[in-house]
Amino acid sequence: MPWRGLITQQSTFYFLSSILCPLWASGFFIMTDKLIIFDTTLRDGEQSPGASMTKDEKVRIAKALEKMRVDIIEAGFPIASHGDFEAVQSVANIIKDSTVCGLARALDKDIDRAAEALKGANSARIHTFIATSPVHMANKLQMSPEQVLEQAVKAVKRARQYTDNVEFSPEDAGRSETDFLCRIIEAVIEAGAGTINIPDTVGYTLPEHFGKLIAELRERIPNSDKAIFSVHCHNDLGLAVANSLAAVMNGARQVECTINGLGERAGNAALEEVVMGVRTRQDVFPCHTDLDTTQIVTCSRLVSNITGFPVQPNKAIVGANAFAHEAGIHQDGVLKHRETYEIMRAEDVGWRANRMVLGKHSGRNAFRERLKSLNIEFDSEESVNAAFARFKDLADKKHEIYDEDLQALVSDTLMTEHEQVKLVALKVCSETGETPHANVTLNMDGVENSVAASGSGPVDATFKAIETLVNSQTNLLVYSVNNITNGSDAQGEVGVRLEKDGQVVNATAK
Ligand code: KIV
Ligand code: ZN
């Protein structure tokens, strides 16, 4: 009888454990905690001025986050508007593998609305918050600390009537008194909050202090072991990621973050930096994430395309130059031994070594498959056809089509489906010694109109001509042109930020 036949299931177990246990005991295998990644791109990220997203765009981003294996997706603030409610509802109905979270102030009506929006979710979380810093309690809430504590407990209990998965945030914890934080956190854990999130709402803290705060809260609060501690850091001093990582070193096991660091004012901690920080420095972090990091670049581009917020070239992990070596001495070093100047592998975050994917002879199936791998799906055959026709046009002009080209092309296709104002023709003249002028023809709701205008430059002349036709009365805050791909035939991306009556809108076009 072959020896393998003698090994029963039970004996296999003892055989393996006799080898593995001594290794385990000697520290050969180190079991690390899981660091929960809570993405708030669709909620706090959307609070960036001008970064508002439609319901469909939010669903596209949520699907990309799910594919990246983000643990929790905060999909919005359901009480804030009907649109927010619907977006949370759609995300909750579609996402299966990630927990979907809705934000609610510590008010009955907010919690009820969040619960209603999350009804269809496979796994739902209600995140309720109330401010605890003296400045917020006195001026914004006009409540005493006792009233705040009472309202927080009441909110958590109400949320627990809908789900076991309740998160509580003492807003502006970074400027709150530690003694009061200890009291309120102990009370909300007692009331049923399973996650305690410590927000540095105004980006005021410093890594050493913030790390110590987390350690102190965990140590002093008697029931702290009944909850997971989370952090939510804003980037006003450029320290959001550093503060988040300091908190992780001190026992936080959930980080709230956003793709590309999008978020209110200077933004939130960038998901890609937190995740790669933990992964790259496994020698110091006693925890790991479950993320598929190869999806990071795709998610970053998707969010940038949808919001119109370009990613700066020198942005860590996802910037175009993040893995580019310019100096000869660096190039030489990397060619001889990659680790000389690289601490991460570009492929591990989704940069492809060979990113040229399609050409003019590629067929519809190859096109569709490539888009699928970029998380781009169409809801109708007409949209696929429109995008494919644009792809063929582009392939005629440009023989190397990169992923970036495809993403740009698809975003344009989805946008032009709902176009009210369409550019029919543009002629711009800029000549030495002459005043630049532009001729623009627009189709507005089916009617074509042309106009000519001059300006201090070709762009100014073009904007003046457009404004004459559309009469938007908006202020142009930002106008930028960046190349998306390389070479003299690169596609360019134009970004425009407009403002009217305090409302800011961003748009990009390729
Ligand atoms: O920054 C903040 O305090 C927040 C809370 C709602 C968590 O976004
Ligand atoms: Zn925030």
Return all residues near 49 (Cβ < 8 A) that are at least 6 apart.
504
104-156 tens-digit pLDDT: 999 999 999 999 999 999 999 999 999 999 999 999 999 999 999 999 999 99
Ligand 1 atom 3 nearest Cα: 201
pLDDT for position 7: 37
Give the CA angle between residues 74, 91, 56 to the nearest 5°: 110
Q: Tell me how far the alpha carbon of residue 208 lies from the centroid of ligand 1, in angstroms.
A: 21
State yes or no: 330 annotated in a binding site. no
Checking if the pLDDT of 233 tops 70, the result is yes
Is the pLDDT higher at 484 or at 422?
422
Q: Tell me if 463 CB under 6 Å of ligand 1.
A: no
Return all residues near 327 (Cβ < 8 A) that are at least 6 apart.
none
Average pLDDT score over the chain? 87
Q: Tell me if 112 CB under 6 Å of ligand 1.
A: no
- Among 110, 125, 201, 231, the mutation site with the greatest number of ligand 1 atoms within 8 A of its Cβ is 201
State yes or no: 399 annotated in a binding site. no
Residues in the chain: 510
Q: Tell me if 232 CB under 6 Å of ligand 1.
A: yes
pLDDT for position 21: 43
321-342 tens-digit pLDDT: 898 766 667 667 777 777 777 8
Ligand 1 atom 1 nearest Cα: 201
pLDDT for position 473: 86
Return all residues near 30 (Cβ < 8 A) that are at least 6 apart.
none
Q: CA 381 → CA 360, 377, 378, 384, 409, distances in Å?
A: 21, 10, 7, 5, 16
Find the ligand nearest to 130 CA. 1
Q: Tell me how far the alpha carbon of residue 296 lies from the centroid of ligand 1, in angstroms.
A: 24
Checking if the pLDDT of 484 tops 70, the result is no
Ligand 1 atom 8 nearest Cα: 44
Supply the DSSP symbol for 491. Answer: P
Residue in 85, 99, 89 with CA at minimum distance from that of residue 120: 89
Q: Tell me how far the alpha carbon of residue 267 lies from the centroid of ligand 2, in angstroms.
A: 8
Q: Tell me if 195 CB under 6 Å of ligand 1.
A: no
What values do phi and psi take at 382, rounded to 5?
Answer: -65, -40
Q: Tell me if 158 CB under 6 Å of ligand 1.
A: no
> Model pTM?
0.79
Is the pLDDT higher at 224 or at 444?
224
